[in-house]
Structure 1
Amino acid sequence: MSDLMAAEAISVRNRWDLFRGGSLTGLLLISPTFLYALALLALPILIVFLYSFWTQDYLTIDRTFTLANYVRALTDPIYRDLLGRSLWISLLVSLATVVFSYPIAWYISFHGGRRKGLWLFLVTVPCWTSYLLRVMAWKVILGYQGVLNSGLLSVGIIDQPLTSILYNSNAVLITLVHSWAAFAILPIFVALEKIDRSLVEASRDLGDGAIRSFLRVTLPLSMPGVISAFLIVMIPTVGDYVTPKLVGGKDGVMIASAIESQFGKGNNWPLGAALSVTTMIVVSLTAAFCVLAFRGLVRRIR
């Protein structure tokens, strides 16, 4: 009996030594990445969070704890409207991007054949150029005498150039959808590639048509990619600064412009930090709500 207990103790100790050695090796492997992410991501967010509870008078920072910045960020009609507009535009951009990207990803996955790599390569080609250049290109396209107006005038569809497609929220929407399309196509494509084609064939054999088979099999199984694409587009576009600045005009201003002005000309870093933190919280809650809504949609479809 004592020999069995001793053998068991030795076995447990050996397993513990292996576990401890593996854990130590794993920690050593991930520690540089973890410290790098902590220094470049968590630390700046922490600094911004601390600043949001302080006040500033010209160049003097008062570190007395206060919630005045958050009260102003949530009650001032200007900031509240900008945040609401930014959130609304980002949701529209995300929805439009997913709707336009899904057919492309579906075609590449189901009908791309041996040329899937080529199609994906072509999808990523616009990302080779600078984001700023792509925005400027849309400014030329949507301008009063731009490519779009000139083309519509030449074929007689309109009598005078359109003024509602530039320097407003419409221009911001169009530009952002194009800029983020590739980032939505790729996760949807990956999700579609993971679908077992025999399931689609089985649904067709059981009498489902092409549309019904897509709604009952393909779409629900690809929903993780759709959710990922939606979040990938929505979260960054809320805080987009370049696009509204170049093509938005006064009607397309978003919350990032207000944050930049407080850190810049406004010289009120605590208020800018409070606006940033408020935006992050609102975006996080909205993202969580969207995930729950998509999951509920999948259950209803099934």
Structure 2
Amino acid sequence: MALAASADLRQRPGEVGSRGSWRNSEEATGLALVSPTLIYAIALLGVPILTVVAYSFWSQNYLEIDRTLTLGNYRAALTEPMYQDLLVRSLIISLVVSVVTVVISYPVAWFISFHGGRHKNLLIFLITIPCWTSYLLRVMSWKMILGYQGVLNTGLMSAGVIDQPIASLLYNSNAVVITLVHSWAAFAILPIFVSLEKIDRSLVEAARDLGDGPVRSFLRVVLPLSLPGVISALLIVMIPTVGDYVTPKLVGGKDGVMIATAIQAQFGKGANWPLGAALSVTTMAVVTLMAAVCALSLKFIVGRIR
């Protein structure tokens, strides 16, 4: 009996000790370190999004918010022709910008990764230099380049290519695409470069030894293995450009207006926050769906190439 009691006493401190040891474990330490950051992220990201979602189900009664749940805002966002046209135009511009940016950025990232040698860090450094300046200044610079009396028109006239300035270079969707591609090119190059750097060069050499030429080895080895970087670059560009407000406002004109302008108008002069919130939530949902479809389609295409 005495031995059993002493054994039981020896077990109880062990159990307490095991719980105490968990508090001192790496898992508990990591959780303690992550928790403040997680709470901070939820406070800054989750709470505003939930607030916007809540507003989208309410209605505006002059200067007061009627908190009676309704789907009228979503009905207007999805059925009114003006909002439909703006959303479709925003999605098309975003998709075009994303594809063009990735197509332009991939060769740059590939050259730096495979042929940059000891100058890789310097080349990446040079690519990031435009990001040091204000986004607004970069947009304004393109306004000066594409303007009626801008750098491009002046240069073409000086070279004798045109007799008078071209008015269609600015204040349209093409100007928005050009400006956004330039603004987001660096953000697309970096993830593609990182993905290319992770590729084992011996796999490319093995493909060459087995008879694949440069193009075939690229399609069968390099492109599939760099696909995560391509998808990341596509999403990094696509998601924010749908809701871009500054670029369409400055260089888009009436033909380059996007959905963000309508959202800003509802939160500003329109004084209809619930409708603006519904437009925001609808845009987020459509962008998420479009991004998923694009990523899956890209995987399928590359899989068929292989």
Normalised by the length of structure 2, the TM-score is 0.93
Instruction: State how far apart, in whole Å, the 1-side matches of 2:305 and 2:71 are.
Output: 45
2:232 matches 1:228 = yes
Q: Distance in 1 between matches of 2:22 and 2:90?
A: 49
The superposition leaves residues 64-94 of structure 1 with CA deviations (integer Å, 9 ceiling, x where unpaired) of 0000000000000000110000010000000
Q: Choose from 120, 123, 128 the match for 1:119.
A: 123
Task: Give 5+ residue unaligned stretches, structure 1.
Answer: none
- Residue type of the partner of 1:56? Q
User: Which residue pairs with 1:274 in the alignment?
Assistant: 278
SS of the residue 2:131 aligns to: helix
Question: Does residue 143 of structure 1 match 2:147?
Answer: yes
CA deviation vs aligned residue, 1:205-242 (integer Å, no higher than 9, x gap): 11111111111111111111000000000000000000
1:48-87 correspondence runs (5 A): 48-87=52-91
Match of 1:47 among 30, 45, 51: 51
Deviation at 1:16, TM superposition (A): 6.7
Q: Which residue is equivalent to 2:292?
A: 288
In the other structure, the counterpart of 1:245 is 249
- Indicate the RMSD between aligned Cα atoms, in angstroms: 2.0
Choose 1 or 2 for highest CA Rg: 2
> Are residues 1:133 and 2:137 paired?
yes
Structure 2 unaligned regions, length at least 5: none
CA separation in 1, counterparts of 2:44 and 2:105? 32
Q: Which residue of 2 aligns with 1:88?
A: 92
Which secondary structure does the structure 1 equivalent of 2:60 belong to?
strand
Secondary structure class of the residue paired with 1:220:
helix
Instruction: Establish whether residue 29 from structure 1 lines up as the match of residue 38 from structure 2.
Output: no
Sequence identity (%): 71
Give the residue type in structure 2 aligned to 1:44. P
Give the count of matched residue pairs: 299
- 1:15–1:214 distance in 2 versus 1, CA, 3 Å: farther
Aligned AA (1:96): V
User: Does the 8 Å contact 1:164/1:170 carry over to 2?
Assistant: no
Contact kept, 8 Å, 1:124 with 1:182, in 2: the verdict is yes
Letter aligned with residue 167 of structure 1: Y
- What SS class does the counterpart of residue 65 from structure 2 fall into? strand
Secondary structure at the aligned position of 2:170 is classed as coil
Q: Distance in 2 between matches of 1:11 and 1:280?
A: 52
Deviation larger for 10-19 or 34-43: 10-19
Q: How much does 1:9 deviate? A: 11
Matched residues in 1 for 2:225 and 2:250: separation? 39
TM-score of the aligned structures, taking structure 1 as reference length: 0.94
Residue 167 of structure 1 aligns with which residue? 171
- TM-superposed CA distance for 1:265, in Å, is 0.2
CA distance in 1, matches of 2:208, 2:18: 52
Q: 1:154 aligns with which of 158, 168, 174?
A: 158
Distance 1:9 1:206, change over 3 A: farther
Match of 2:103 among 94, 99, 107: 99
